[in-house]
């Protein structure tokens, strides 16, 4: 590839963002006629109570819908740059960004914890399984995670919800904390963890499967490398070779996968949040879809695109720092 690493990553990042913004701009305008009137009429036909003329005015003013398209696009970009995402239809006086600000922290906390745990459990486990391909225990573990990796977040989530919240009511069936309870800070944290446990576990269970498989595959390759043979010839202990030679080299290449799977986990968790009624972005998105709140749908999708591509970009920039074998060519 002709372009240097840094430039290529930046171009890809910029284009992904631009693509997300353009889709967000174009898709609603593909609806013939005044999109706002069409939406309001559609909502009224469905018997949903909608905001009145002041909403229409505010919307028209914010988006300048009477301007020519290219002016509209520039206006759209500049309002995005100011962090303006429009106004929610179903929760009218609320702006989309205010709603997102309420729901966003829950998602980010859940996702980061789950993704980090997946990586920290899955990779060493997979490396160990790959290191000991001949032992029976490692083959059983491998088969178990192979099965897990083919499950989906939502099927695992529904099963956990059924077993641990309905059959054995150990965990709550929804929400992120007990509403109206009078807790001190410590009790509140425990309460939050108790509510987040099942959603997090369903993401982790599936995620760990994928990481284990990938790490095992890498380890099988690393095991045949010359430096492992050399370490053995030097008479190092098996444990020492595994920890300081093999594990490191299976860990590093997986860091880029951390970036690639980010999007997958983020979007997969939408459904987990819906199933557990966990008040994150996915749940908000589900609500906005069922109530046809288009500005909200668009604002949330844009946030997802922004979040996922930025996270991937950061990981890709950091990767050559972590693994000296890769250079910013």
Partner 1 sequence: MKPSDSISKMALVNTIVAKASFVRSNRYMFAGLCVFVGIVLFSSMGTVVIPYHPVRIGNVPRDLLPSYEHPLGTDSLGRDILAQLCFGTLMSLQVGFIAGIVGFAVALAVSFIGGYRGGNLDSGLTILTEVFLTTPSLVILILIASLVRRIDIPLMALIISTFAWAWPAKTMRAQVLSLKERGFIYLSKLSGLNSVEIVVKHMIPNILPFLGSYFAVVVSAAILSAVGLEVIGLGPRDTTTLGMIFYWAMMHSAVTRGLIWWWFPPCVMLFMIFLSLFLVQKGLDEIANPRLKSR
Footprint of partner 1 (CB under 8 A): 1-3, 8, 11-13, 15-16, 19-20, 23-24, 27-28, 30-31, 130, 133, 146-147, 149-152, 154-155, 158-159, 161-162, 165-167, 173, 220, 260, 263-264, 266-268, 270-271, 274-275, 285-286, 289-290, 292, 294, 297-298, 300-301, 304-305, 308-309, 312-313
Q: What minimum distance in Å lies between the beta carbon of 286 and partner 1?
A: 6
φ, ψ of residue 87 to 5 degrees: the values are: -120, 140
Q: Which residue has the tokens 């043979």?
A: 229
- Using the CB atoms, write b or e for 34-55: b if 16+ within 10 Å: ebbeebbeebeeeeeebbeeeb
* C-beta closer to partner 1: residue 220 or 326: 220
Q: What minimum distance in Å lies between the beta carbon of 306 and partner 1?
A: 10
Calculate the alpha carbon distances from 72 to 17, 49, 68, 109, 129 in Å: 18, 29, 6, 36, 56
Q: What minimum distance in Å lies between the beta carbon of 31 and partner 1?
A: 7
Q: What minimum distance in Å lies between the beta carbon of 3 and partner 1?
A: 7
* C-beta closer to partner 1: residue 25 or 119: 25
* C-beta closer to partner 1: residue 45 or 234: 45
φ, ψ of residue 310 to 5 degrees: the values are: -65, -45
* C-beta closer to partner 1: residue 241 or 270: 270
C-alpha span between 225 and 238 (Å, rounded): 15
* C-beta closer to partner 1: residue 60 or 163: 163
φ, ψ of residue 30 to 5 degrees: the values are: -75, -20
Q: What minimum distance in Å lies between the beta carbon of 85 and partner 1?
A: 14
* C-beta closer to partner 1: residue 25 or 106: 25
Q: What minimum distance in Å lies between the beta carbon of 107 and partner 1?
A: 13
DSSP run (H or E) holding 106: helix 96-131
Q: What minimum distance in Å lies between the beta carbon of 267 and partner 1?
A: 4
* C-beta closer to partner 1: residue 123 or 281: 281
Cβ neighbours around 202 below 10 Å, total: 28
φ, ψ of residue 198 to 5 degrees: the values are: -65, -45
φ, ψ of residue 131 to 5 degrees: the values are: -65, -40
Residue 87's DSSP bridge partners are: 95
């Amino acid at each position: 590839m002709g372009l240097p690493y840094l430039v290529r990553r930046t171009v890809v990042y910029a284009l992904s963002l631009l693509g997300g913004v353009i889709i967000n701009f174009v898709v609603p305008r593909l609806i013939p006629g005044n999109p706002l009137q069409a939406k309001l009429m559609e909502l009224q036909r469905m018997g949903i109570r909608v905001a009145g003329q002041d909403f229409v005015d505010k919307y028209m003013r914010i988006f300048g819908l009477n301007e020519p398209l290219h002016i509209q696009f520039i206006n759209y970009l500049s309002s995005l740059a100011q962090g303006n995402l429009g106004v929610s239809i179903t929760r009218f006086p609320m702006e989309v960004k205010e709603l997102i600000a309420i729901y966003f922290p829950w998602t980010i906390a859940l996702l980061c914890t789950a993704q980090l745990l997946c990586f920290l459990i899955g990779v060493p486990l997979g490396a160990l399984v790959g290191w000991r391909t001949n032992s029976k225990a490692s083959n059983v573990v491998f088969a178990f995670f192979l099965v897990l990796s083919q499950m989906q977040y939502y099927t695992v989530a529904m099963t956990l919800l059924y077993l641990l919240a309905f059959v054995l009511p150990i965990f709550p069936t929804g929400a992120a904390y007990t509403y109206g309870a009078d807790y001190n800070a410590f009790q509140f944290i425990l309460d939050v963890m108790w509510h987040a446990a099942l959603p997090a576990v369903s993401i982790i269970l599936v995620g760990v499967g994928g990481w284990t498989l990938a790490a095992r595959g890498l380890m099988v390759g690393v095991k045949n490398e010359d430096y492992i043979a050399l370490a053995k010839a030097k008479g190092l202990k098996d444990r020492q070779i595994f920890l300081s030679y093999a594990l490191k080299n299976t860990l590093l290449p997986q860091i880029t996968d951390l970036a690639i799977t980010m999007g997958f986990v983020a979007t997969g968790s939408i459904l987990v949040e819906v199933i557990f009624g966990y008040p994150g972005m996915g749940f908000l998105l589900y609500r906005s879809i069922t109530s046809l709140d288009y500005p909200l749908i668009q604002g949330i999708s844009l946030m997802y695109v922004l979040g996922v591509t930025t996270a991937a970009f950061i990981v890709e920039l950091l990767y050559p720092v972590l693994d000296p074998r890769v250079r910013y060519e």
